Amino acid sequence: MFIESAKNTGRIEVVCGSMFSGKTEELIRRMRRAVFANLSIKIFKPQIDVRYSASDVVSHDAKAIASTPVAGSADILAQAGDARVIGIDEAQFFDQGIVDVAVELARRGVRVIVAGLDMDYLGKPFGPMPALMAVADDVTKVHAICVRCGDLAMYSHRLSKSDKLVELGEKDIYEPICRACFNRLQEEGSL
């Protein structure tokens, strides 16, 4: 009987949470540990995310790692090559095919680390993130701190009046808030 070793077993890890919760920072930390372990890596991000860099994945606290911007999930599978660890940032912006891509990479024995917003600015599940969490071997939910009361934040409150689902921005457009503050804004009709 053949038993595959743990080193050849693929897996899917999802890091999710609100804006300013440290998702990208955690992705970068895990990818750097893979490099330290002499594993070949590749990191992908959606082409639309050019907030800090057109090519690098950059956290809000300016930690950065080289990445490959791609137009869609199929590009990740096509460009994965022989990488043992694949990082995917801002997964909520990808098409639903990202779920099948992650599953296929894990089937091939690749460790797939995915970071993304679990909810949009309205507090609704965001894009392919719920499906990615469902197929993941491990889900880590990280939290920001509510800028209004100091509690743990899980919502990305949009400060602008735009009603577009995707609006790239930083602290000028979004703030992390807790459930109580989110509910209060909802009751006031401010969301």
List, edge to edge, every strand of the sheet that includes 85-88. Answer: 68-70, 41-46, 85-88, 111-117, 11-17, 138-142
pLDDT of residue 8 exceeding 70, the answer is: no
DSSP category for residue 20: T
Residue 43 pairs in a beta bridge with 87
**Residues 92-145: pLDDT tens digits?**
999 999 999 999 999 999 999 999 999 999 999 999 999 999 999 999 999 999
- Catalytic center residues: 90
Short-list 93, 99, 114, 94, CA closest to 165: 93
**Which amino acid type is present at position 46?**
P
Short-list 76, 156, 70, 158, CA closest to 116: 156
Model-level pTM?
0.88
Residue 140 buriedness (CB in 10 A; 0-12 / 13-18 / 19+):
middle
pLDDT of residue 50: 52
Domains of the chain, CATH where assigned: 6-142 (3.40.50.300)
Residue 139 to residues 14, 142, 149, Cα–Cα distance (Å): 5, 10, 27
Element at 103 (helix H, strand E) = helix 97-107
**Residues 22-56: pLDDT tens digits?**
999 999 999 999 999 999 999 999 987 656 555 66
